[in-house]
């Protein structure tokens, strides 16, 4: 971009009297005009994802264009404070870690100069907007386009027709620039045509409890897959005509979980339609695709009924059946046992359904998990058969986060402190954060770090007062648990611990307790009743605690509404303690844990996902690890776990848990608290009682919370731990993750675009 010209034109822009949305549109639109997209090199990587949780792009893009500071100054001269744009909300085209990871990878791809192109869906409505009504979650549609969408460029000329048996749909791409050493694109498709066609890009994860809902989900997944494949094939044909032999040399596709797996049979279908033989088409597909698994929870492993596919995508169903036959033939030849053949099968006769994960594993060059432990687990359990016969296919790439957003933008104060100590090189090479290590013991650095934390807490508290209307008093030790609401993440365990703290404080059992604040943030999927009950329960507990003046502010809490990327930026910068307490083996990686770490929060968590690598990098002594390890959980699952015996033997915990049914808290007459109680003590929905082993870990959790609290009182030592975490966080940059994908999986090289 020509910065000088841009700033000149910005100076001349008539922006007087515009509201925030107007300012946002005008300035963004001008910037977009100045962005030159990079030329695509011969070989590109394509990242297909049903979610992209971008967050606010305005500040990020201006930062990447290298004009953020100048724009701020220039506008200040015109009497405009850029902070006003804070009220422009995020585009939440995703719901959690998987979608945010996609966004961080896009950021790193461009920043590091990799030709990495994103493909997704331009949902009309993003993830629902959350409010609380008497502590219950309420959902409202997220009309994110009401501020306009100035960073996207509609490419009508590159629209495509997507065909289903019963309808045709137009897929219109909208390109968003991804700015760095290269300017890549995130291409989001909008479905147009009839009302039924438009519904395809209506909302993220339509309810799949009805057949109609499942058909819509299938349409959505195919829509994304077919549009992306169509785009690649068209670009390829422009270079090579109808000779597809170079296709896999020039294109590689990363499947972000199984949602875009239809891209595999679709590529085969398209190639066959153009005269390529099935075997050759399959071979090409197997050289193009790679698959990342993000979860081992059985309920999240997608299977689509054959009947449904035959109804709306008969040729895709046919190709999947053909692939299934080929797969079985090959497996037999390669000596798979009958049980292995069944377990790895693309099509299961017993379920009369296709396994999307098995399709992905069979068709991919590389299958990877997202943290060391998770990659081991998928190798050992989920994909055991394939791993036994094709160990070379399996790989790990531990997740990462974009330090530009999660440190430079979210915490410019800490970023500047770091610059001051070790220079600016870490901004481009985050591994250099380790140069902070000599400063960990330094009193002056510690004091400066503390001052930054205080400032970020003040900013967060100020924001919370404005958005939630809750005020906190005095200095606080901030514990935070912010993430999707899910039973395996065990927000309920934190709720129990919090209530226990409250009771113990009231009884004077915790005399030297450092005043603490618990911050929760989470959305529960609209159809996930138990998750919603947990939100209500936490809100009831918080109401009681916050009202109780006898505590003198020793314990307070807040459940922030509408937790999103923007909120996350504020919370990770302010927190002292990052709560990462999933049942061992179930959190594939976690990425929030990395964001907190990079901002100098210690991890209070279980040996799960990337927590393991966090303590490997930053040291056990600088974090607070508790609870059953994965081996123990696996043993308990086999038998011998009795949550009721635990409650009988531990009256203090029994008292806490009984509040789910003894009327201490009101669930508004819904019975949802009793249902939680039943799930813990008797089991429900095909699960054994306390399926996520809360009572195995809760006492250790509680003790760890108290340990942090005691350590916090020795501020000098505690700050050292926090600084040690920052200094060890370089590994968790997504620049590192993306470079690993590029080198080991995609085989693409970074190259700065000369024209930039």
Q: Which is nearer to ligand 26Q, 206 or 515 (CB)?
A: 206
Q: Is 605 in the site for ligand 26Q (CB under 6 A)?
A: no
Q: Which of 746, 747, 751 has the alpha carbon at shortest distance from 253?
A: 746
Q: Which of 27, 59, 97, 281 binds ligand 26Q (CB under 6 A)?
A: 97
Q: Which of 180, 400, 430, 590 binds ligand 26Q (CB under 6 A)?
A: 590
Q: Which is nearer to ligand 26Q, 575 or 588 (CB)?
A: 588
Q: Which of 46, 219, 290, 294 binds ligand 26Q (CB under 6 A)?
A: 294
**Contacting ligand 26Q within 367-386 (CB under 6 A):** 370
Q: Which is nearer to ligand 26Q, 590 or 643 (CB)?
A: 590
Measured distance CA(191)–CA(51) in Å, rounded: 16
Q: Residue 466, Cβ neighbours under 10 Å: how many?
A: 8
483 catalytic per annotation: yes
| E strand or H helix that includes residue 704 | helix 694-713
- Tell me the window of 79-87, 94-102, 504-512, 696-704 that interacts with ligand 26Q (CB under 6 A): 94-102
Q: Which of 152, 190, 295, 403 binds ligand 26Q (CB under 6 A)?
A: 295
Q: Which of 537, 497, 502 has the alpha carbon at shortest distance from 676?
A: 537
Q: Which is nearer to ligand 26Q, 481 or 539 (CB)?
A: 481
As a whole number of Å, the end-to-end CA separation of the chain is 7
Task: Tell me the residue number closest to ligand 26Q, measured at CB.
Answer: 97
Measured distance CA(747)–CA(106) in Å, rounded: 17
Q: Is 399 in the site for ligand 26Q (CB under 6 A)?
A: yes
Q: Residue 384, Cβ neighbours under 10 Å: how many?
A: 14
Q: Is 101 in the site for ligand 26Q (CB under 6 A)?
A: yes
- Tell me the window of 6-14, 380-388, 586-594, 661-669 that interacts with ligand 26Q (CB under 6 A): 586-594
Q: Is 400 in the site for ligand 26Q (CB under 6 A)?
A: no
Question: What is the secondary structure of 464-496 as a DSSP string?
Answer: HHHHH-----S--EEEEEES---GGGTHHHHHH
Cα within 13 Å of Cα(313), Cβ side? 27
- Tell me the window of 104-112, 232-240, 583-591, 666-674 that interacts with ligand 26Q (CB under 6 A): 583-591
The active-site residue, picked from 252, 258, 591, 606, is 591
Q: How far is the CB of 348 from ligand 26Q (least distance, A)?
A: 16
**Contacting ligand 26Q within 297-326 (CB under 6 A):** 300, 302
Q: Which is nearer to ligand 26Q, 204 or 708 (CB)?
A: 204
294 catalytic per annotation: yes
| E strand or H helix that includes residue 725 | helix 715-727
- Tell me the window of 146-154, 412-420, 444-452, 589-597 that interacts with ligand 26Q (CB under 6 A): 589-597
Measured distance CA(610)–CA(616) in Å, rounded: 10
Query: Dihedrals φ, ψ of 44, to 5°?
Result: -130, 155
Query: Dihedrals φ, ψ of 125, to 5°?
Result: -120, 135
Distances from the Cα of 86 to the Cα of 89, 463, 573, angstroms: 7, 11, 17
Contacts of 410 (CB under 8 A, 6+ apart): 569, 570, 572, 573, 595, 599
484 catalytic per annotation: yes
Helix (H, G, I), strand (E, B) or coil at 53: strand
CB 563 within 8 A of CB 524: no
Q: How far is the CB of 294 from ligand 26Q (least distance, A)?
A: 4
678 catalytic per annotation: no
Orientation angle between helical segments 491-506 and 529-547, nearest 10 degrees: 20
Q: Is 98 in the site for ligand 26Q (CB under 6 A)?
A: yes
Q: Which is nearer to ligand 26Q, 96 or 600 (CB)?
A: 96
Helix (H, G, I), strand (E, B) or coil at 167: strand
Q: Which of 577, 592, 574 has the alpha carbon at shortest distance from 410?
A: 574
Q: How far is the CB of 85 from ligand 26Q (least distance, A)?
A: 28
Q: Residue 161, Cβ neighbours under 10 Å: how many?
A: 12
Q: Is 221 in the site for ligand 26Q (CB under 6 A)?
A: no
- Tell me the window of 90-98, 315-323, 493-501, 721-729 that interacts with ligand 26Q (CB under 6 A): 90-98
The active-site residue, picked from 100, 457, 595, 696, is 595
CB 45 within 8 A of CB 115: yes
The active-site residue, picked from 484, 486, 532, 696, is 484
Q: Is 96 in the site for ligand 26Q (CB under 6 A)?
A: yes
Q: Which of 151, 164, 205, 673 binds ligand 26Q (CB under 6 A)?
A: 205
Catalytic residues: 294, 483-484, 489, 591, 595
* Residues in contact with ligand 26Q by the rule CB under 6 A: 96-98, 101, 205, 208, 294-295, 300, 302, 370, 399, 587-591, 609
């Amino acid at each position: 971009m020509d910065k000088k010209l841009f700033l000149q034109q910005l100076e001349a822009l008539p922006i007087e009297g515009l509201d925030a949305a107007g300012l946002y549109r005008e300035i963004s639109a001008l910037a977009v005009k100045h962005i030159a997209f990079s030329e695509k090199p011969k070989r590109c990587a394509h990242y297909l994802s049903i979610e992209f949780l971008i967050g606010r792009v305005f500040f990020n893009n201006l930062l990447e264009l290298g004009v953020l500071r100048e724009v701020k100054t220039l506008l200040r001269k015109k009497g405009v404070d850029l902070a006003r744009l804070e009220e422009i909300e995020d585009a939440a085209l995703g719901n959690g870690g998987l979608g945010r990871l996609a966004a961080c990878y896009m950021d790193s791809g461009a920043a590091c100069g990799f030709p990495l192109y994103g493909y997704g869906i331009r949902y009309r409505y993003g993830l629902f907007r959350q409010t609380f009504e008497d502590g219950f979650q309420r959902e409202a549609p997220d009309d994110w386009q009401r501020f306009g969408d100035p960073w996207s460029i509609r490419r009508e000329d590159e629209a495509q027709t997507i065909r289903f048996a019963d309808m045709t749909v137009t897929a219109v791409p909208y390109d968003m620039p991804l700015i760095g050493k290269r300017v890549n694109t995130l291409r989001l498709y909008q479905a147009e045509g009839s009302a039924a066609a438009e519904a395809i890009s209506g909302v993220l994860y339509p309810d799949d409890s009805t057949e109609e809902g499942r058909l819509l989900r299938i349409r959505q997944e195919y829509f994304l897959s077919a549009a992306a494949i169509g785009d690649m094939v068209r670009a390829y044909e422009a270079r090579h005509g109808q000779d597809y032999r170079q296709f896999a040399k020039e294109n590689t596709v990363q499947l972000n979980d199984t949602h875009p797996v239809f891209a595999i049979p679709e590529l085969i279908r398209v190639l066959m339609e153009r005269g390529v033989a099935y075997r050759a088409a399959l071979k090409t597909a197997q050289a193009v695709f790679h698959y990342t698994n993000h979860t081992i929870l059985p309920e999240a492993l997608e299977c689509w009924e054959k009947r449904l596919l035959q109804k709306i995508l008969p040729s895709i169903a046919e190709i999947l059946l053909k692939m299934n036959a080929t797969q079985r033939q090959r497996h037999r030849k390669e000596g798979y046992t009958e049980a292995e053949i069944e377990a790895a099968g693309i099509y299961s006769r017993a379920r009369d359904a296709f396994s999307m994960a098995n399709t992905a594993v069979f068709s991919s060059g590389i299958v990877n998990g997202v943290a060391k432990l998770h990659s081991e687990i998928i190798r050992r359990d989920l994909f055991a058969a394939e791993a036994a016969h094709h160990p070379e296919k399996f790989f790990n790439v531990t997740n990462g986060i974009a330090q530009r957003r999660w440190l430079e933008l979210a915490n410019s104060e800490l970023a500047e402190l770091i610059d001051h100590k070790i220079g600016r090189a870490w901004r481009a090479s985050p591994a250099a954060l380790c140069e902070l290590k000599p400063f960990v013991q330094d009193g002056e650095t510690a004091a400066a770090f503390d001052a930054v934390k205080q400032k970020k807490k003040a900013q967060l508290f100020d924001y919370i007062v404005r958005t939630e209307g809750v005020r906190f008093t005095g200095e606080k030790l901030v514990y935070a648990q912010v993430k999707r609401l899910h039973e395996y993440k065990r927000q309920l365990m934190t709720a129990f611990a919090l209530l226990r703290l409250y009771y113990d404080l009231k009884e004077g059992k915790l005399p030297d307790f450092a005043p603490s604040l618990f911050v929760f943030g989470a959305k529960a999927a609209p159809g996930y009743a138990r998750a919603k009950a947990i939100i209500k329960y936490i809100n009831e507990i918080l109401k009681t605690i916050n009202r109780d003046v006898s505590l003198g502010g020793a314990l307070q809490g807040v459940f922030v509404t509408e937790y999103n990327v923007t909120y996350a930026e504020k919370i990770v910068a302010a927190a002292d303690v990052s709560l990462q307490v999933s049942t061992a083996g179930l959190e594939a990686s976690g990425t929030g844990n990395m964001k907190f770490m990079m901002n100098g929060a210690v991890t209070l968590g279980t040996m799960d996902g990337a927590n393991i690598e966090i303590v490997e990098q930053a040291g056990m002594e600088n974090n607070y690890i508790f609870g059953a390890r994965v081996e123990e959980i696996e043993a308990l699952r086999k038998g011998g776990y009795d949550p009721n015996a635990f409650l009988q033997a531990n009256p203090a915990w029994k008292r806490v848990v009984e509040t789910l049914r003894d009327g201490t808290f009101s669930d508004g007459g819904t019975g949802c608290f009793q249902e939680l109680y039943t799930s813990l003590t008797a089991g429900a929905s095909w699960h054994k009682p306390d399926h996520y082993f809360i009572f195995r870990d809760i006492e250790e959790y509680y003790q760890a919370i108290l340990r942090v609290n005691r350590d916090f009182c020795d501020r000098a030592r505690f700050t050292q731990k926090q600084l040690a975490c920052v200094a060890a966080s370089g590994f968790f940059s997504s620049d590192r993750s993306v470079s690993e994908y590029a080198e080991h999986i995609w085989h693409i090289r970074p190259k700065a675009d000369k024209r930039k």
